[in-house]
Chains A and B, each alone.
Chain A
Amino acid sequence: MVGNISLERVKEEYFDVLKELGNIGAGNATTALAQMLQCKVDMKVPQVRLLNFNEIGEVMGGEEQIVAGIYLAVEGEITGSMMFVLEQNAARSLVGKIMGVPVETDEMSEIELSAIKEIGNIITGAYLNSLSSLTNLKMLPSVPDLNIDMLNAILSVPAIEFGIMGDKILLIQTQFTDDVEINGYFILLPDLESYSKILGALGL
């Protein structure tokens, strides 16, 4: 099912590959964010966090922290899914910047929600683009889906996908600094069959 490499080998290289791809993708996403906001955005070197499922709450202020999760399917030569998670306050601040008026109400309006979706679209698109040019493999993002809810509930979706393969979840933590510090997390989940393609494309 994974070409001529064994499942064991995929597992060994699984996290290293995701980590490297994540670093590159997050850098590109930051550039896209800066263009969108038309200002300088600094990015700290992304931190790769490999967590047990019960440690997920240790990132982003706890299991019940309200976050915006943007989830999309990846199609093309590489298939799988991808998620971008952002603290609710960071999402508000970004939306405020784009729309030119601060988001003050607790409940976000339809238009504010679509602005978050659009941010997610641009950031994840940039992320996938850089992976695509690096590997020379087509990766086409689907229209993203947005949900704002408790961190654990949002992350249960990629956690379950990781759960099929093992007992840990890999997050790429990206800290953007604009006027405010914005913590975002990328989670890239290629299908198992796509690993051999990615590994092959990277000459592994």
Chain B
Amino acid sequence: MSEIIKVGMADLNICKSPDGITTLGLGSCVGIAIRDPIAKVGGLAHIMLPDSTQIANNSNIPKFADTGIEELVRQIVAIGGNRSRFEAKIAGGAQMFAFQNKGDMVRVGERNIEASKKKLKELGIPLLAEDTGLNYGRTVVFYPETGEFFIRSAGKPEKKI
């Protein structure tokens, strides 16, 4: 009997095959799914902001792309994942509204995508696929067993990347 583990906004979690892991309604936030295809363990982070070093109050590790991805990797290793085999897929980073007036919020979705990619690259984790940008929300479900990453959006057919 497999389960689907839920990850909230500014949160992360891990799971083992055959379980899946999901986060609902990614908007400008980015969902980063990482797995070890041999050990079949993985996890999902739902980050809100690109860079913890730009924020004074940065103790909430899963909130940021940089610290969130590092922590996700650490936790997957802790349940038996081998870093050298890790692979990633990402989704989200939409611009939900046309106007964004403030420095911190300008293109925040896009900056979340860029920061996530940068961190993955820095950690040497290949990015296999992405479904990012545009102007709509995404619910994602990830299965570390197969690496399938399902994306559901309002009024659109389900996508698999």
Contacts and interface: CB of A to CB of B under 8 A. Distances in A.
Interface of A: 7, 52-57, 62-64, 66, 69, 71-73, 75, 79-81, 107, 142, 145, 147-157, 159-161, 163-167, 191
B135 A164 contact: no
Contact of B137 (A56, A73, A107, A149): A149
Top 7 A-B residue pairs of the complex, sorted by shortest distance between their CB atoms: A153-B137, A54-B8, A152-B25, A156-B27, A153-B27, A63-B24, A150-B25
Contacts, number: 121
B25 A163 contact: no
A58 to B, nearest CB: 11
A54 B108 CA distance: 19
Contacts of A63: 24-25, 139
Interface residues of B, number: 34
Given A53-B10, A54-B8, A145-B98, A152 B27 contact: yes
Looking at chain A's contact residues, the main secondary structure is: mixed
Contacts of B55: 164
Contacts of A53: 8-11, 48, 63
A105 B24 CA distance: 26
Contacts of B105: 81, 157, 160-161
A147 to B, nearest CB: 5
Contact of B29 (A142, A156, A164, A165): A156
Contacts of A157: 27-28, 96-97, 105
16 contacts: A54-B11, A69-B96, A73-B101, A147-B97, A149-B27, A149-B96, A149-B137, A150-B137, A152-B9, A152-B27, A153-B27, A153-B94, A156-B9, A156-B28, A159-B48, A163-B10
